[in-house]
């Protein structure tokens, strides 16, 4: 039993436990089985998912995970664990824990553990700066389910921090630091994870929140409109997703004469497969084929500024 009645649960997306086909298949089954992620009716989607997509994707995805895997494990898991430890130092009177929406440590058992350790007020912080029905709302679904069974615990979910000034300043500082150490590229490209365009058309605020983040960071860096671009990556399937797509935008910039392009991914709290393998490796390779250099600026990860920003966000959340 803890003496701290207030707790913070930081929730990241999740990761396979190992870079193997079996572990990736288990992870993708949970992730792609979430109706918030794929909204196709289950009677149609589940046979396709388990009969075709998982057998085809698991091995290929495992090979990609193996390229970014660290000696200690998954980059996302390592950075999340260290970030949470740093947040705990900023909030010494709180219980501070981590959870994953998919995979381990799982969200619902993490809430159970906090309640069992005496927490009577829990702030849930999804590590998704920009709200989307495909990410934050899925966490909210599980929190709402858990809260209905635990009326004695007050649970509050941080919905969004896309333009939180402390977070914006932290991202801007990492970009400045990168420029000071490596020089500044001709264009700064913001690459956010995409979602299907139909979800935005149906009212998902995600693209507006991504634009709010990009504009706030660009303003903090005092960039004019010509010095930066907003793009979307990680398209899945054949339908139209949010545009402009990141990789073709980078190709056009390179083919237009830009020699050095800086890419930052402020939709990701921590580095992961999408930032390391897709952007820092994959995009960099295809941009190099077009005569330009892509320099990836890492996520905030477990930096002190990131921990301070998120701790302040949690502490400011209304009781």
- Please give the residue that has the higher pLDDT: either 2 or 31: 31
Asked if residue 14 is part of any domain, the answer here is yes
- Region 107-129 average pLDDT: 97
CA triple 260-264-268, angle to 5 deg:
160
- Assess if residue 111 is contained within a domain: yes
Say whether both 204 and 182 belong to one domain.
yes
pLDDT tens track for 31-74: 999 999 998 999 999 999 999 999 999 999 999 999 999 999 99
CATH number at residue 274: 3.40.50.1400
Domain contains 306? no
Residues 157 and 18 in one domain: yes
116 and 203 belong to one structural domain: no
Binding site: which residues? 193, 274
Q: Are residues 154 and 200 in the same domain?
A: no
CA atoms within 13 A on the CB side of 245: 13
For the stretch 169-219, pLDDT in tens is 999 999 999 999 999 999 999 999 999 999 999 999 999 999 999 999 999
User: What is the domain range of residue 233?
Assistant: 165-297
Q: How many domains are contained in the chain?
A: 2
Question: Per residue in 71-106, is it b (16+ CB within 10 Å) or e — as a string?
Answer: eeebbbbbbbbbbbebbbebbeebbbbbbbbbbebb
Cα–Cα dist 263/55, whole Å: 32
User: How many CB atoms are closer than 10 A to CB 248?
Assistant: 12
- pTM listed for this prediction: 0.95
pLDDT value, residue 238: 87
Instruction: Give the annotated binding-site residues for Fe(2+).
Output: 193, 274
Query: pLDDT tens digit string along 212-234?
Result: 999 999 999 999 999 999 999 99
Looking up tokens 């046979």 gives: 47
173 plus 214 within the same structural domain:
yes
Q: Could you tell me if 62 and 21 are in contact, meaning their C-beta atoms sit under 8 angstroms apart?
A: yes
Are residue 113 and residue 45 in the same domain, yes or no? yes
Residues 6+ apart with CB under 8 A from 269: 12, 80, 83, 127, 128, 129, 299, 300, 301, 306
- Check residue 318 and give its pLDDT: 66
Tell me whether residue 313 is in a domain: no
Residue 311 within a domain: no
Distances (CA, A) of 240 to 54, 124, 244: 22, 32, 11
């Amino acid at each position: 039993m803890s003496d701290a009645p207030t707790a913070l649960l930081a929730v990241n997306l999740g990761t396979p436990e190992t870079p193997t086909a079996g572990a990736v298949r288990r992870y993708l089954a949970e992730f792609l089985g979430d109706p918030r992620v794929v909204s196709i009716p289950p009677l149609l989607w589940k046979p396709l998912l388990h009969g075709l997509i998982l057998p085809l994707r698991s091995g290929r995805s495992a090979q990609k995970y193996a390229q970014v895997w660290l000696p200690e494990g998954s980059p996302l898991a390592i950075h999340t664990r260290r970030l949470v430890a740093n947040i705990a130092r900023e909030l010494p009177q709180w219980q501070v824990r981590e959870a994953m929406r998919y995979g381990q440590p799982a969200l619902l058992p993490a809430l159970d553990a906090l309640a069992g350790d005496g927490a009577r007020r829990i702030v849930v912080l999804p590590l998704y700066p920009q709200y989307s029905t495909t990410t934050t709302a899925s966490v909210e679904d599980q929190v709402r389910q858990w809260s209905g069974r635990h009326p004695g615990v007050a649970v509050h979910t941080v919905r969004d921090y896309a333009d939180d000034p402390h977070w914006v300043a932290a991202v801007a500082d990492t970009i400045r630091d990168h420029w000071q150490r490596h020089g500044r590229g001709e264009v700064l490209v913001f690459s956010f994870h995409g979602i299907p365009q139909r979800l935005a058309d149906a009212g998902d605020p995600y693209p507006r929140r991504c634009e709010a983040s990009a504009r706030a960071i660009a303003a903090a860096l005092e960039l004019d409109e010509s010095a930066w671009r907003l793009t979307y990556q990680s398209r899945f399937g054949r339908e139209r997703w949010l545009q402009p797509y990141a990789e073709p935008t980078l190709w056009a910039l390179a083919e237009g004469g830009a020699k050095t392009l800086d890419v930052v991914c402020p939709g990701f709290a921590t580095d992961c497969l999408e930032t390391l393998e897709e952007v820092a490796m994959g995009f960099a390779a295809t941009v190099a084929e077009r005569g330009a250099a892509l320099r990836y600026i890492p996520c905030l990860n477990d930096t002190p500024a990131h921990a301070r920003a998120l701790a302040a966000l949690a502490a400011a959340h209304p009781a």
